[in-house]
Amino acid sequence: MSPLGFLGLGFGHARISKKRKLVALLIAGAADLLQGVLFPLFIEGAFSPFDWAVDIVTAAALLFTVGLKARLALAFTTELIPGLDLFPSWTALVLTLPVDEPPPAGTPPEGEVIEAEVIPDEALPPPKKEN
């Protein structure tokens, strides 16, 4: 476990659960919507203290929700570029995160050994001939 694993800040597990992705999508969507609706307050771009506050709070919330991801730094950097911050980069970040899908039914748990018997060729029926 990483030193900050209890906070979910490890680089180890790249995929997140569907529940975490949904929570992160709500956080990111709310931040992008807030920045879009209150655009006049954020008109200064990277120099706007309101924009900085929303971006820092959003980055922290996503950091604790999905863990430390390289995409998080990319989205934060994108939010600092005037004009480019109009793109919903927080939502795009969350939408690109892979989800940890449960294994299909009937799949043995990881590490479980399945015993199988090798059947010699002589024991197999002959192939059917096509007419």
Q: How many CA atoms lie within 13 A of 10 on its CB side?
A: 12
Burial 105-127 (b: 16+ CB within 10 A, else e): eeeeeeeeeeeeeeeeeeeeeee
Tell me the pLDDT of the chain (131 aa) as tens digits: 444 444 444 444 567 888 999 999 999 999 988 887 776 665 665 557 777 888 899 999 999 998 888 888 888 888 877 777 778 889 998 998 888 877 667 666 666 666 777 777 777 777 787 76
Q: How do the domains of the chain map onto residue ranges?
A: 5-95
CA pair distance 87, 128, nearest whole angstrom: 61
Q: Are 66 and 97 in contact (CB under 8 A)?
A: yes
Q: Model pTM greater than 0.85?
A: no
